[in-house]
Amino acid sequence: AVPGEASEAMAPPQMGKQEALQRFSVDLTERARTGELDPIVGRDEEIRQIVDILMRRRQNNPILTGEAGVGKTAVVEGFAQRIASGDVPPPLQDVTLRVLDVGLLQAGASMKGEFENRLRQV
């Protein structure tokens, strides 16, 4: 097999990556485009920091941490709105921001290893 490709010896996944993404995640950029997200006010600095981190060559994975209710989701939704409106640097303009729904991923995964298989598919 070519490096980076699955070999024939591996079991094929039950669903393709696109299908798994559709099933277990929510497309925030699409929700922003259709006006389903509430406007975000006062989070410009945090959103700018996310953009700055994503534009780095290395160590470009932003992580939002904090107590419940401090606004982590609002910052991510604000970033999705910026992407949808084109208010991001050119490399980020065609990005799709998706939120993984771990509850959906776990739901019905009763057999041993099923949750892990679903996670790999995403």
Domains of the chain: 27-101 (3.40.50.300)
For the segment 60-89, what is each residue's pLDDT rounded down to a tens digit?
999 999 999 999 999 999 999 999 999 999
Please give the full DSSP string across 44-77, using - where no structure is assigned.
Answer: HHHHHHHHHHHTSSSS-------STTSSHHHHHH
pTM greater than 0.85 (yes/no): no
* pLDDT range class, residue 14, cuts 50, 70, 90: low
Supply the mean pLDDT for the chain. Answer: 86
Alpha-carbon distance of 79 to 95, in angstroms, equals 11
Task: At 20, list the tokens.
Answer: 């798994």
